[in-house]
Structure 1
Amino acid sequence: MTTLIVGGYGSVGRTIAEDLATASDDANAVIIAGRDETKANAVASEFGDNVSGIAFDLEETDSYARILKDVDQVVMCVDQSGTAFVEACLESGADYVDVTASDEFFRQVEQLDDLARDGDATAVLSVGLAPGVTNLLAKLMADQLSSVSDIQIGVLLGLGEAFGPAASRWTLERISREFAVPTAGHSGSIRGFSNPVPVEFPRYGQRWAYSFDFADQHVLHRTLNVPARTHLCFDSRGVTSAVYGLSWVGLYRPAVEAIGLDRLTDLVSTLSVGGDGFAVTVEVDGQQNSTAKTLMTAIDGREQSRVTGIVAATVALAIRDTAVPDGVHHIHEILDPEPILDVLRKQGYRLTNSEQVRETREPVPPNP
């Protein structure tokens, strides 16, 4: 079994390479690919004979056939503007795992379901922390209820972690940007970093968190047919308040334009104004037989980018070693949450659960 990791010398890719290299006995089982062959080879040399490096540029479409030759699965750690490479993977029969967080991209890949089935390939999306772990936690709790009425997700990110430029730029672009959310049977629009709600995070206590365009809320609504909302805050209360204030008075966008998105991305990627911890809280409201309940579960720890790498490696191993259906799927649609969560527990991440019984006059109707 040979796994190609595209963007494999970033922080997420390194974690994936290390986990897969120690889990496989195949020579050259892991190939780290990126534009800089020197970096790819340098990272590959850290993990022994099972890992090698190769130069690869996604823009060079004529190299796809060469790069995918004898590759059984691909783990993508780089954002893409289109699906040309995904299509090449699925046509070649290579399974595909993607750690991107963009729902716009997810919707494009979802249209390739027939192509994946024709190629006897499986594509897994929503692989990471949010989306990813959040999807698994929501599905785990939803399965404990006879019906579900609402899903609320809170994400707290530490600003002291060394995020790559792509991750920083993705977040900066979505602050104060309008995005569509389903509300009461129709689609509404909301602005990123607006609508504050109090969220209780393990280790951090109650924080104000704000609407944000994470993909998990869109994916969970499409796949579970349940309204979902995701809210974001940072470990630094000061930075969170400042970002909200700028967005609320309409100055965030003008400020970004004045500074320049590229320059601001470089600045944010190098600043350290918080810790490297994170916390995620997922609440699911619904009905368990005749009782209205709210189920809550949370995960916290350090280095959310490492969580993404661990989850991606675990997914890659799962679709390699177990029977999974062909086609395009999100993580919670084809994989049992518990084994993945157990891996995170063993890596030192803490999961907590609680349950609240609520009074209700009318039963919540079951999902169609």
Structure 2
Amino acid sequence: MTKVLVLGGYGAVGIPLMKQLAKVPEISAYSAGRDPARADVVVDLKEPGAYSTVVRDFDVVVNASGFEDVRLADEAVRGGAAFVDITATSSYCEELEAVDGPVLMGVGLAPGLTSVLATEAHRLGDGPVDILIGLGGGELHGPAATAWTYGMLGTRFPDPDGRSIRNYTGMKTFRIPADATGYRTGPAVRADFSDQHALTRDLGVPVRTYLRLDTSTATLGLAAMTWAPALQKVVPKKLWGSDRWVAMARADTGPALWVSGRSQSVATAAIAARAVQVIRDAAISKPTWFHAVETTESLQAAVPELSVRQWDGASRSSGKTVH
């Protein structure tokens, strides 16, 4: 029996993750957090001593809390556990890559599914790879996801060509498959999802991630706010749109790979549950990205609701970049 501790196990991702892990007979999962009414294991992640004592009793620790402190990974692996993180933050992933022990990162919808799609698009085609992640503006996201999205307003990150890119600029129009319910062809903007940097290194080609919401109005609003971050104070947590998402990756040549579904949090939880099985079964001894140990074929077999499809209508010539 593999004992799994889910940090933030009663949050937006934690709740569906606990449900997913409960379906696996070989896994015994426990939620962790500060609220004794909701947590199986009561622990304050900001208290190092308490956390390090708790994790010694577990084989795998999954960080779904949104609390990004590399100490969590360090103390977990020192206690003999493997560590899984669903973060999308580039700087935090750089710290996780320096941990001396089994850490699986880039787990979730984006990064995670997007990374696996990009790797397959690169295998089937040539040239730079574009990743598109579309998120439903109508989904009520957890506080960590909301803070992450708005926290990037006005900030910058490095492009593969060396330029400094402001988040939510570099608008480009992407064609969307007709079967991607809730989405039409529309604009997307650059965003600093962590996997594009790891993929650029691992695949040896430039990889760039673009973000859009399910309505063009909401996407354009995000692009406007990056020049006036203070506007986030007047934006509601739940925007226009639905809870539908789409993920797509395309190279210069070859087909695009895409998946769509409902609820970003549920999809992230399903992939995180798969990651627990991967890190339990694979011989991981050092920090590893999800796309290095998972393929579109193995992921779809393990998570059938993630139906990966190919599409020939997403040629790069259809996208126009506006700087």
Tell me the TM-score normalised to structure 1 length: 0.79
Q: Write out aligned runs for 1:42-191 (5 A).
A: 53-112=40-99, 115-116=100-101, 122-145=102-125, 148-183=126-161, 187-191=162-166
Q: 1:218 aligns with which of 197, 212, 227?
A: 197
Question: Structure 1 or 2: larger helix share?
Answer: 1
- 1:201 touches 1:298 (CA, 8 Å); kept in 2? no
> How do 1:3-42 residues align onto structure 2 when only pairs under 5 Å count?
3-25=4-26, 29-40=28-39
Q: CA deviation at 1:355?
A: 4.2
CA–CA distance in 1 between the matches of 2:129 and 2:274? Answer: 25
Question: Are 1:294 and 1:357, in contact at CA under 8 Å, matched by a contact in 2?
Answer: no
CA distance in 2, matches of 1:76, 1:299: 25
Cα distance in 2 between the residues matched to 1:25 and 1:228? 37
Q: Where does residue 240 of structure 2 map in the other structure?
A: 273
Aligned partner of 2:169 in structure 1 is: 194
Unpaired runs of 5+ residues, structure 2, are 316-323
SS at match of 2:199: helix
The amino acid across from 1:134 in the alignment is T
Deviation at 1:35, TM superposition (A): 1.1
Hey, what's the Cα distance between the residues in 2 that align with 1:37 and 1:357?
49
Task: State whether residues 299 and 350 of structure 1, in contact with CA within 8 Å, keep that contact through their aligned partners in structure 2.
Answer: yes
Equivalence for 2:318: none
Q: 1:329 matched to which residue of 2?
A: 288
Once residues 112 and 314 of structure 2 are traced to their aligned partners in structure 1, the CA distance between those partners, rounded to angstroms, is 27
**Cα distance per residue 1:238-272 (max 9 Å; x no partner):** 2222332444xx3x22434xx4xxxx5xx633x34
Where does residue 363 of structure 1 map in the other structure? none
Render the CA deviation track for 1:293-333: whole Å, top value 9, x for unaligned.
3331111111111110000001101222x232311100011
2:186 matched to 1:207?
yes
Q: Does the 8 A contact of 2:105 with 2:289 survive in 1?
A: yes
Secondary structure, aligned partner of 2:84: strand
* Partner Cα separation in structure 1 for residue 298 and residue 264 of structure 2: 19
Q: Percent identity?
A: 28
Pick the aligned partner of 2:309 from 313, 332, 352.
352
Q: Residue 318 of structure 1 is aligned with which of 262, 278, 290? A: 278
How many Å separate the matches in 2 of 1:139 and 1:66?
38
Matched, 1:294 2:294: no
Cα gap change, 1:243 to 1:142, in 2 (>3 Å): closer
Please report the RMSD computed on the Cα atoms of aligned residues, expressed in angstroms: 2.0
Using a 3 Å threshold, how does the CA distance of structure 1 residues 81 and 281 change in structure 2: closer, same or farther? Answer: closer
Residue in structure 1 matched with residue 320 of structure 2 by the alignment = none
Mark the structure with the bigger radius of gyration: 1
- Equivalent pair of 2:138/2:239 in contact (CA under 8 Å): yes
Greater strand share, structure number: 1
Whole-angstrom CA distance in 2 between matches of 1:23 and 1:189? 44
The answer to whether residue 268 in structure 2 is matched with residue 308 in structure 1 is yes
What SS does structure 1 have at the residue aligned with 2:173?
Answer: strand
> What is the alpha-carbon distance in structure 2 between the residues aligned to residue 141 and residue 59 of structure 1?
40
Query: Structure 1 segments of 4 or more deviating over 3 A?
Result: 355-358
Cα distance in 2 between the residues matched to 1:191 and 1:25: 45
Question: Does the residue aligned with 1:2 lie in a helix, a strand or coil?
Answer: strand
- TM-score normalised to the size of structure 2? 0.90
Whether contact under 8 Å (1:175, 1:212) holds in the other structure is: no
Q: 2:121–2:129: 8 Å Cα contact kept in structure 1? A: no
For each residue in 1:28-58, what CA deviation from the matched residue of structure 2 results, as whole angstroms up to 9, or x when unmatched? Answer: x111001112122xxxxxxxxxxxx111111
Q: Aligned pair in 2 of structure 1 residues 92, 130: CA closer, same or farther (>3 Å)?
A: same
Residue pair 2:66, 2:145 contacting (<8 A) in 1 also: no
